[in-house]
């Protein structure tokens, strides 16, 4: 995948009708690019709409916001990796802060999900990040390292397979508070060092994205920070004009 990577996490927004309108506006104004990759993580019921809009474009990827670690079975309401792949997904969000702190997802569960994504030949985008009380207590790095190591612990092909990381400080998501480029740079350096330790040389090229109150006004400065390979964007990705401004940063 080409960098920078600009990933839109729509969370529980944009059903098929709004998605169709959004994607038409986006695709019409965003010609094929060779120097960056755009990713969309729509709600599950809008996956096919995004897939249809993307068509054969290889610079725009479809992703899913969550998966279960079993390939099939009596798991009502869940989405498996094989189903996600069949729908056209190439990448899977794992361990987003809302999955952890709203739905109680544990480090052990993120490990099972990352392993399932690897087994299914998709790319995991593992999210890590600290809450404000952990940061204020001087525990930010320890929390991020713990989440990172736990999430990747059951993957067996880290030396040869793609994996992406997103640093999303919980205190900067939807709060209007944004980590400065210097904050992002410092934590991304910690993550890069850990990736080298875990993955060997492959850790040197693993993309590390920043996520947390990204908007058209700060996207360029964040992308300019060292070891920031892209952005994971929430609210600002729901408006086509705002999203276009970010992906053109």
pLDDT of the residue at 176: 67
pLDDT digits (tens, 9 = 90+) for 15-50: 999 999 999 999 999 999 999 999 999 999 999 999
Dihedral angle, C-alpha 133, 139, 143, 145, nearest 10 °: 150
pLDDT digits (tens, 9 = 90+) for 184-236: 999 999 999 999 999 999 999 999 999 988 999 999 999 999 999 999 999 99
* 223: CATH: 3.20.20.70
**Range(s) of the domain holding residue 198:** 5-247
Out of 118, 130, 168, 194, pick the active-site residue: 168
Cα 230 versus chain centre, distance: 10
Residue 126, helix vs strand vs coil: strand
Query: What's the domain count of the chain?
Result: 1
pLDDT digits (tens, 9 = 90+) for 147-193: 999 999 999 999 999 999 999 999 888 676 768 999 999 999 999 99
Active site residue 101: no
Active site residue 96: yes
The pTM assigned to this predicted structure is 0.97
Dihedral angle, C-alpha 93, 94, 97, 99, nearest 10 °: 100
Out of 96, 105, 130, 188, pick the active-site residue: 96
């Amino acid at each position: 995948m080409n960098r920078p990577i600009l990933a839109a996490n729509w969370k529980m927004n944009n059903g098929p009708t709004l998605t169709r309108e959004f994607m038409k506006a986006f695709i019409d104004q965003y010609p094929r690019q060779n120097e960056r990759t755009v990713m969309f993580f729509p709600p599950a019921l809008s996956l096919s709409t995004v897939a249809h809009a993307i068509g054969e474009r290889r610079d725009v990827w479809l992703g899913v916001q969550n998966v279960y670690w079993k390939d099939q079975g009596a798991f009502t309401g869940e989405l498996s990796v094989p189903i996600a792949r069949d729908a056209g997904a190439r990448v899977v969000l794992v361990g987003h802060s809302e999955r952890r702190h709203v739905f109680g997802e544990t480090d052990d569960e993120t490990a099972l999900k990352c392993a399932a994504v690897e087994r299914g030949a998709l790319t995991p985008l593992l999210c890590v990040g600290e809450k404000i009380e952990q940061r204020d207590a001087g525990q930010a790095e320890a929390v991020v390292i713990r989440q990172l190591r736990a999430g990747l612990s059951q993957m067996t092909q880290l030396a040869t397979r793609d994996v992406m990381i997103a640093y999303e400080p919980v205190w900067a998501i939807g709060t209007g508070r944004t980590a400065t480029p210097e904050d992002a740079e410092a934590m991304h350096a910690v993550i890069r060092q850990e990736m080298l330790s875990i993955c060997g040389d492959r850790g040197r090229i693993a993309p590390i994205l920043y996520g947390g109150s990204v908007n058209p006004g700060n996207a360029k400065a964040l992308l300019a920070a060292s070891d920031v390979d892209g952005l994971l964007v929430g609210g600002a990705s729901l408006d086509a004009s705002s999203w276009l401004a970010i992906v053109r940063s």
